[in-house]
Each structure stands twice: as structure tokens, then as C-alpha cells.
Structure 1
Amino acid sequence: MSYSEHFRRKVIAKLEEGYSIRAVSTQFEIDKNTILSWKKRIEVKRTRPRKPFKIEDDALRADVEKYPDDYQYERAVRFSCSAASIGYALKRLGITMKKRPYATHKPKNP
């Protein structure tokens, strides 16, 4: 959780009053590097930059419908990416691995 902008301005105001960074950091129990970064940019970052997904959701859904029994490494060849990234994309879309029907399970011994 980040500190509020009001609190950050309060800390920077102490610096402007003439206190040292070390004194302010011990008073507010904040690291010195944090105070230095606040001097450069006092605003709170609202969002973090996200890298766009390499695999398009619609294309992956269509691929799963067309080839429902393929393994992740086979899909990875078609999408020219790794099998792990296919796994992450399937998890993001809520598509689970194929499961055997209950009728094909081995019967339990009494």
C-alpha cells in the first residue's frame, strides 16, 4: 500500500523547513531512498504499466474450439510462443484442462 499524497507533502515540507533527510526518515520511519524518490515525483502512481498479451483471447478461444484435444505445446507451435504462456493465457480465460468423464474412471474395490 502506498502513502497518501498528503503525507508525502508533509514529509517534503519538513525537508523544506531545513531538516536533513536522515532526521526526517527517522522521525516518520521511512527509508531515505523513498524520500529521495518523493522529491523527484510526489504524485501517487495510479496504474502500473502492463505489457500487452502476446496471445489474443479470441484467437486462443477459436483454437481451443477447433482443436479441443491438443496439448499446450502444440498450441504454442501454432502461436509461436512457449507452452507456459499458453498455460497462463488459458488460465486467464478460465479454460481448464480436459477431464475424463466420470463413467470412464476405474471402479472402486469394495
Structure 2
Amino acid sequence: MAYSEDYRQMILSKLEKGDSFRKLAAEYQLSPVTIQRWKKNPKRKQRVFRPLKIDNQKLIEDVATYPDSYHHERAIRLSCSPRGIGMALKRLGISQKKDP
């Protein structure tokens, strides 16, 4: 659970006024280690999200442009994982058929 920066600053200001880690932890139902981490770095970590799905149109264009590419080559061009390419191609119904 992420706490707001205002909440963190309020607890850290009480810590600076002389309250102990244990007292604040018991009062706000937090771990003393959490408060210690906030004291070291009061800013919240920013999570970096990668796109969950590959753009279908870009993938279709890539398949048309490079029909013999491997999944790992497509993954580099589209900035995703080879497994993601395989799942997206399956979702679109595109498969590589072998000639007999």
C-alpha cells in the first residue's frame, strides 16, 4: 500500500519533534522499519509501466514488411518481449506455416 507524501511528512515531522519510531509505529499501525525507510527517502518511488499490449496495427505492418523475422527480432523493433510477440501473433491469428 502506498502512502501519500503528506501522510509521510506528517509522521516524519512528529518523529523530528521527539516521538519514537515504536510509538509512531504503534499509533499509525506501521512497521518501524517503514518509518526508518521514509526518514532515509521521504519521496515515493515512481513505478515505470511498460505497455501491456502490443499495437496490433504496428505488428501487422511489421509482419508484412519483414515476413521471415524471428520473434526476438520483432521484439527488438517493437520494444517488447519475444513471448509478447508470440502471444500477440496468436491473438491476431497469424502463424508461420512450414512448407512441406
Query: Under TM normalisation by the shorter chain, which class is it?
Result: 0.5 to 0.7
The structural deviation recorded for 1:7 is 0.9
* Poorly superposed stretches of 4+, deviation over 3 Å: 57-63
Give the equivalent residue in structure 2 for 1:64: 63
Larger radius of gyration: 1
CA RMSD after TM alignment:
3.4
Name the SS of the counterpart of 1:48 in structure 2: coil
Structure 2 unaligned blocks of 5 or more = 51-55, 76-80, 95-100
- Aligned partner letter, 1:35: I
The structural deviation recorded for 1:59 is 7.6
Give the equivalent residue in structure 1 for 2:47: 48
1:86 is aligned to 2:82: yes
TM-score (norm 2): 0.57
Provide Cα deviations, 1:7-30, integer angstroms capped at 9, x if missing partner. 111111221121211111111011
Cα–Cα, structure 1 residues 5 and 80, in superposed 2: closer, same or farther, change >3 Å?
A: closer
Give the equivalent residue in structure 2 for 1:98: 93
Matches within 5 A, 1:7-46: 7-45=7-45
TM-score (norm 1): 0.53
Give the equivalent residue in structure 2 for 1:4: 4
The answer as to whether partners of 2:74 and 2:82 remain within 8 angstroms in 1 is no
Structure 1 unaligned blocks of 5 or more = 52-56, 100-110
- Aligned partner letter, 1:48: R
The answer as to whether partners of 2:71 and 2:85 remain within 8 angstroms in 1 is no
- Aligned partner letter, 1:98: G
Give the equivalent residue in structure 2 for 1:76: 71
Give the equivalent residue in structure 1 for 2:98: none
Query: Across the two proteins, how many residue pairs are aligned to each other?
Result: 82
C-alpha separation in 1, matches of 2:86 and 2:33: 40
The percentage of aligned residue pairs carrying the same residue is: 28
Provide Cα deviations, 1:85-110, integer angstroms capped at 9, x if missing partner. 3231465xx652427xxxxxxxxxxx
